[in-house]
Amino acid sequence: MGKTTYKRLKGSQSFRQRLLLATLSSTPIIIDEIRADDMITGLLRHEMSLLRLFESVSDDCVVEVNETGTRLKYKPGIIMGGKNLVHSCALTRSMGYYLEPLLVLGLFGKKPLSIRLKGVTDDPKDLSVDTVRNATLHILKRFGVPSEGLDLKIEARGVAPEGGGEVLLTVPNVQSLTAVQWVEEGMVKKIRGWTFSARVSSDFEHSMRFAARGVFNNLLPDVHIFNDHKSGPHAGKSPGYGISLVAETTAGCYISADTAVSCGRADETGEIDVERQERKPAEDTGVEIASWLLQEIEKGGVVDSTHQGLLFILCALCQQDVSKVRVGTLSPYGVETLRNLKEFLGVTFSFRPDPSTGTVILTCVGSGLINLSRKLS
């Protein structure tokens, strides 16, 4: 065996994507100066938890972190997948943070993946588990991922700061992803929503649903918002409520917006925040998310701005064929993703702005990643 050559990177930005792309392209990496000058130096809790998650779904991967956590040495192993895996996520980020890379990793495993994640299911920062189930999984299907065996079951809710939620994710394996020509946005034909409340009165849900429907009813007849009031062990350990809205278009695009509100959030020191007294009414949350969804639809594109990163990663992993996609305004996360894809997979995208709609059409040739570890049945 020759000496391992490591790709050297600096800083804490786009940590998730660097790990994911390093694993898929089998590139060993060293990341230096991770928050070296910050008050809290080194890798944060959720980043360590993500490393542990990558370790549990792969075999023979080597992770070395120095004492201060400012330097990481990572040598990817073989993605195994497997059944009955369990991972307790760090409570500083919600499950959306872990699910996004996990969905892509699972596709290129040796065996189908079935994993139970425990922790915070919904927070304002990451994708809610409802959005992942009702929008993100549909994006994967566009790239030739079979819908059989692709599922996310929400078994218990968990809001920050204590969590206590539980979901079961299953991901099938693919040999390779199919390139897409996905530029037709279509018109919005229906809006579906999911609200939840845990350890608080279900009135919060009614207020949010009523307010959100008030925004949509003038525009569209087919609006339905489902409720999901949890109590007892299924409600997790902290009180809170949230909403996730998904618009489906005639061309089969799914545009989403979501948020969650924690009642009595503890800050880093563990003290209950003053935010508790100054929280805005649930109606305002409903109106805010409904308006945000309308803004996302107005921007155009086949996915919303939170899914741009995932869309570009899937395009870059496709077989060596041309993929063409349309997005609205490029989000900072999307731009960061494009840089990482060029660095790890050598895939560059060409841009063509479409001034008539204010959208951008991106074209790339896939890197042709083939799942070599999958058992050929």
93 close to 120: Cβ distance less than 8 angstroms: yes
211 close to 261: Cβ distance less than 8 angstroms: no
Within 8 A by CB and 6+ apart from 310, the residues are 100, 103, 104, 136, 139, 303
Alpha carbon distance 123, 45 (integer Å): 16
Q: What is the pLDDT of residue 63?
A: 96
Confidence band for 35, pLDDT divided at 50, 70 and 90: very high
Residue 276 has pLDDT above 90, yes or no: no
H/E run at residue 309? helix 308-317
Domain 188-299 class?
alpha beta
H/E run at residue 315? helix 308-317
128 close to 242: Cβ distance less than 8 angstroms: yes
Angstrom distances, CA of residue 119 to CA of 15, 49, 166, 167, 214 = 20, 11, 6, 9, 33
pLDDT in tens, 149-178: 999 999 999 998 999 999 999 999 999 999
| Domain boundaries for CATH 3.30.360.20 within the chain | 188-299
- Span 112-129, average pLDDT: 96
Q: Of 316, 317, 338, 306, which is closest to residue 79 (Cα–Cα)?
A: 317
Q: What is the pLDDT of residue 3?
A: 80
Confidence band for 271, pLDDT divided at 50, 70 and 90: very low
Name the CA radius of gyration of the chain, rounded: 21
Alpha carbon distance 46, 220 (integer Å): 40
Alpha carbon distance 178, 175 (integer Å): 10
Confidence band for 265, pLDDT divided at 50, 70 and 90: low
CA atoms within a 13 Å half-sphere pointing along the CA-CB vector of 180: 23
pLDDT in tens, 53-81: 999 999 999 999 999 999 999 999 999 99
Q: Are strands 223-230 and 82-88 parallel, antiparallel or unpaired?
A: unpaired
Q: What is the pLDDT of residue 167?
A: 98
The CATH T-level fold of domain 304-365 is Ribosomal Protein S8; Chain: A, domain 1 (3.30.1370)
Alpha carbon distance 41, 87 (integer Å): 25
Q: What is the pLDDT of residue 372?
A: 81
Confidence band for 274, pLDDT divided at 50, 70 and 90: very low
Side chain identity at residue 168, one-letter code: L
Alpha carbon distance 17, 50 (integer Å): 11
Alpha carbon distance 126, 260 (integer Å): 10
> 310 in helix, strand or coil?
helix
Q: What is the pLDDT of residue 280?
A: 87
Q: What is the DSSP string of 117-166?
A: EEE--B-SSS--HHHIIIIIHHHHHHTT--STT-EEEEEE--BTTTB-EE
